Structure 1
Amino acid sequence: MKSVAAIITTAVLAGFSQACSTPGNYVVTFYGYPDNSPPGPGTAHNCGGRNFKAGGTGTYADPITIATAPGELNVCEIVYLPLLTKYGRYEDDCAQCTTDWKNGQPHIDIWTGSNSVNGGQNQINCEDNLTFGGRYSIVRNPPTNYGVDTTPLFVAPNTCNTNHVYPSNPAHC
């Protein structure tokens, strides 16, 4: 029979492993249907019943797809993105993110749009306009009740919602 101290210690350690954290210094870029590899909505990981297709509105229940280097986040991990006031989930891999991660630079690539419509050059231009440069924090193991902006980043044929990006939003737990 376990002692009360052992049970409490186990519970405390389990709580620490799930604690919210705000790692920073992430390069944040954007990708979509036309510049995915190969072009289309395909993802490397099947998360949340999406059947290997990128998507999401940014809520905790429907996080936007993010790509990164294998090992940088846990597959299907949900994080909060203060830059966008959206939740994101690691569902895809990113070649440039992998190179950056191997060189000590965290990097995430965020899905911009439809999983059925190729936005072509307009979507790529939007992705470039959404990429402000700088380095940003994310929230790992976030609470489920942060406020979100579900406005799509790109809507074909040519709507780019750069006014729904918040570079000065701080990350906090």
Structure 2
Amino acid sequence: MPTNSTKLLLPLTALFLQGSITSACEVWSGVQHTFYGYPDNDPPGAAISQDCGRGFTAGGTGTFSDPLTMATAPGELENCEVVYVPYLKKYLRNEDYCAQCVVDWQSGLRHIDVWTGESTVNGGEDQINCEKQLTTAESIYTIIRSPRGDLEVDPNPIYTPGNDGQTCHADRVYPGFDSQQIC
């Protein structure tokens, strides 16, 4: 026969387990956003430091089910953690290491580096110029940890290798948002 303490432990255990499975949406403001891709990855290419379900290769489209690769300092976010970036209207997954992010994290600045382009095509200087257009002195934005899976996603890639003159989609950014609509 269960004792009174056993009867109390079962609901508390269930509550603890439920809380550890889902966490509350959290808004982090003041996060430096930079961009990287095939030509300026270290070493150049699409190799990343973590396997979060697609091998050790950067990629993604930015949807909840196919988040775009991002890099940051170890410990800043959980490995393979998915966040939402309102500035880009994309979901990102922490699956790579960023050396400058480590320096910034140690000095108290949150910093993410967002993958641009494809995993098989080197966009060269055109891609690097696109990353520079996106990385400005004002590139301090918000990320959403533990986001809902139904937030608005811009389906356009950040960078598309090609000769059509529309390779950089730096105009597809959204600097203003209402966190009340997200969390």
TM-score, scaled relative to structure 1: 0.92
Residues 44-55 of structure 1: matches in 2 within 5 Å?
A: 44-48=49-53, 50-55=54-59
Structure 1 residue identity aligned to 2:173? V
Q: 1:150: Cα distance to partner?
A: 1.9
Residues 19-168 of structure 1: matches in 2 within 5 Å?
A: 19-48=24-53, 50-132=54-136, 133-157=138-162, 159-168=167-176
Which residue of the partner structure matches residue 3 of structure 1?
Answer: 7
Q: 1:3: Cα distance to partner?
A: 2.3
Runs (5+) with no aligned partner, structure 1: none
CA contact 2:49–2:56 (8 Å) conserved in 1: yes
TM superposition outliers: structure 1 runs of 4+ over 2 Å: 1-6, 12-17, 169-172
Runs (5+) with no aligned partner, structure 2: none
Relative to structure 2, which stretch is displaced further, 143-152 or 158-167? 158-167
Q: 1:23: Cα distance to partner?
A: 1.2
CA contact 1:82–1:170 (8 Å) conserved in 2: no
CA contact 1:137–1:170 (8 Å) conserved in 2: no
CA contact 2:34–2:139 (8 Å) conserved in 1: no
Q: 1:12: Cα distance to partner?
A: 5.9
Structure 1 residue identity aligned to 2:109? Q
- Aligned CA-pair RMSD: 1.8
CA contact 1:66–1:111 (8 Å) conserved in 2: yes
Structure 1 residue identity aligned to 2:52? C
**Structure 1 counterpart SS, 2:93:** strand
Give distance in 2, aligned partners of 1:22 and 1:13. 23
TM-score, scaled relative to structure 2: 0.87
Give distance in 1, aligned partners of 2:178 and 2:112. 17
Give distance in 1, aligned partners of 2:151 and 2:7. 37
Q: 1:13: Cα distance to partner?
A: 7.6
Q: Provide closer, same or farther for how the CA distance between residues 134 and 51 of structure 1 changes in structure 2, counting only shifts above 3 A.
A: closer
